[in-house]
């Protein structure tokens, strides 16, 4: 299996088994955001090999999600999900002057 860190989005299709792994790294301080680290995996024997590679690189408290890149370029999540607390909601009150 070949691995390489991803800087840009995966925007190609592949006939060979290709996976994108996104590691969600826990914030180093309370109130800080999760960080992500993306990897491209090619030439894996199967999804089990790719999952094993990702699990071996987890740090305590981190998570990961894995997508397979289909022959038509779509990303299909086959494992994991983003942490529930990675999203921020901000309420903005708008008023008008009359």
| pLDDT tens string 62-72 | 999 999 988 88
Answer yes or no: is pLDDT of 7 > 60.
yes
Q: What pLDDT score was predicted for residue 6?
A: 85
φ/ψ (deg, to 5) at 54? -65, -45
- Neighbouring CB atoms inside 10 A of 9's CB total 9
Which secondary structure element, helix H or strand E, spans residue 50, and what is its range? helix 47-56
pLDDT bucket at 90, cuts 50 / 70 / 90: low
CA-closest candidate to residue 61, choices 31, 27, 26 = 26
pTM score, whole prediction: 0.76
- For residue 47, with 0-12 CB atoms within 10 Å meaning exposed, 13-18 middle and 19 or more buried, which class applies? middle
CA 41 to CA 69: how far, in whole Å? Answer: 10
Residue 46: DSSP 8-state: S
């Amino acid at each position: 299996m070949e691995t390489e860190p991803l800087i840009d989005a995966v925007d190609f299709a592949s006939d060979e088994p290709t996976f994108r792994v996104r590691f969600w790294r826990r914030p180093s301080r309370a109130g800080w955001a999760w960080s992500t680290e993306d990897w491209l995996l090619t030439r894996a024997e199967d999804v089990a090999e790719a999952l094993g590679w990702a699990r071996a690189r987890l740090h305590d408290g981190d998570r990961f999600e894995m997508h397979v890149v289909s022959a038509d370029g779509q990303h299909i999540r086959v494992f994991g999900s983003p942490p529930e607390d990675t999203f921020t909601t901000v309420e903005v009150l708008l008023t008008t002057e009359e």
